[in-house]
């Protein structure tokens, strides 16, 4: 699939402005973002970009100007784009290293995840992903049935597999993410994770001990009832992909489905919430 890159120049450079703009563009259908010293780049499937009006994107902060330029990114160029411009290995708490197959890194981290991210969201660099990675490094998932909603590159699900989960199911609505996740499972020799193409409509009668949902606020709110339905009593669910300002509305919705808040993590105003389903 052909993608379109939109280079967003923010003047003066402002990290909060970047986040506000990326949140808007995420809701419009943009799938991946990479920050730089001028603002950030946003990526969207070219067929979807035809319906995008960039002038509708606005920054609520005073004194911020925005300029755009676009470039079509063919499929075959994307790995080179990541290798050249963005994706660098990351180490989380000296316990988990995430690198691409084109990196060679000396590390004593217990868990090593190899990904070729291509166009899929979820390299571990963004706060929304790293917040849940930190949660997963703290908890015991051995023997659990895990659901990774909006799995992207499958990082979260693969870490669960490496930590001894009995079975992992990844679901993503984006075909590129679906294919990329399958590739990454092969790279890491993960055999107990299944990846499905679609959305919350795929959730049927299967019950899960642990659900990871790293998407965005609007989708989480719309699909929370479906998640709660397939979560076992006493099971845990971790939400990520929203700002601290969204916690109240997220928690209000969660309480409707017998989900009890147990903890929260925040990084650069991005927030992750951990819940237990009351028995």
Rounded alpha-carbon distances, angstroms, from residue 198 to 29, 33, 50, 141, 195? 15, 22, 22, 25, 10
CATH 3.30.70 correct for 3-73? yes
pLDDT of 13: 85
Q: What is the pLDDT of residues 87-130, one digit of tens each?
A: 667 777 788 888 877 666 667 789 989 887 665 555 555 788 88
CA atoms within 13 A on the CB side of 53: 3
Rounded alpha-carbon distances, angstroms, from residue 4 to 40, 157, 256? 14, 28, 39
Q: Is 172 annotated as a binding residue?
A: yes
H/E stretch holding 178 reads helix 175-187
pLDDT of 27: 77
Hey, what are 207's tokens? 């019950």
Closest CA to 95 of 159, 190, 157: 159
pLDDT of 31: 73
Global confidence as pTM: 0.75
Rounded alpha-carbon distances, angstroms, from residue 28 to 22, 89, 94, 131, 181? 10, 29, 36, 24, 23
- The residue to which tokens 């819940």 are assigned: 275
Domain positions in the chain are 3-73, 139-277
**Rounded distance between C-alpha atoms, residue 13 and residue 24, angstroms:** 18
Pick the CATH number of 139-277 from 3.40.50.150, 3.90.110.10, 3.40.1500.10, 3.30.420.10: 3.40.50.150
Q: What is the pLDDT of residues 143-166, one digit of tens each?
A: 999 999 999 889 999 999 999 999
- Could you list the mean pLDDT of each consecutive 10-residue stretch along the chain, which spans 279 residues? 89 85 83 81 87 88 92 69 60 82 73 74 68 95 97 94 98 84 94 95 94 90 96 97 92 97 92 95
Q: Is 4 annotated as a binding residue?
A: no
Q: Is 129 annotated as a binding residue?
A: yes
14 contacts 28 by C-beta, under 8 angstroms: no
Rounded alpha-carbon distances, angstroms, from residue 136 to 100, 211, 219, 263? 21, 11, 22, 13
Q: Is 150 annotated as a binding residue?
A: yes
Question: Which residues touch 146 (CB under 8 Å, ≥6 apart)?
Answer: 157, 160, 165, 167, 168, 169, 208, 209, 210, 211, 212
Q: Helix or strand or coil: residue 24?
A: helix
């Amino acid at each position: 699939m052909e993608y379109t890159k939109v280079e967003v120049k923010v003047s003066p450079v402002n990290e909060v402005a970047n986040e506000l703009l990326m949140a808007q563009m995420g809701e419009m259908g943009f799938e991946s973002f990479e920050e730089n010293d001028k603002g950030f780049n946003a990526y969207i499937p070219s067929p979807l970009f035809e319906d995008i009006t960039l002038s509708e994107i606005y920054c609520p902060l005073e004194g911020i100007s925005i300029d755009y330029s676009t470039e079509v990114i063919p499929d075959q160029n994307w790995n080179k784009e990541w290798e050249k411009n963005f994706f660098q290995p990351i180490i989380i708490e000296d316990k988990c290293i995430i690198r691409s197959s084109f990196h060679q890194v000396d590390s004593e981290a217990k868990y090593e995840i190899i990904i070729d991210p291509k166009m899929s969201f979820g390299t571990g660099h963004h706060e929304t992903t790293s917040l849940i990675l930190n949660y997963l490094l703290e908890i015991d998932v051995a023997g659990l049935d895990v659901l990774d909603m909006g799995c992207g590159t499958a990082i979260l699900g693969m870490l669960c597999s490496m930590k001894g989960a009995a079975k992992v199911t990844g679901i993503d609505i984006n075909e590129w993410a679906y294919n990329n996740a399958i590739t990454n499972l092969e790279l890491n020799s993960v055999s107990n994770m299944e990846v499905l193409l679609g959305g919350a409509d795929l959730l049927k009668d299967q019950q899960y001990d642990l659900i990871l949902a790293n998407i965005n606020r609007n989708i989480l709110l719309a699909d929370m009832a479906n998640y709660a339905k397939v979560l076992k009593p006493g099971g845990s669910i971790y939400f990520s992909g929203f700002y601290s300002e969204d916690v109240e509305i997220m928690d209000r919705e969660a309480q409707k489905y017998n989900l009890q808040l147990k903890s929260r993590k925040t990084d650069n105003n991005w927030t992750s919430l951990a819940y237990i389903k009351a028995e």
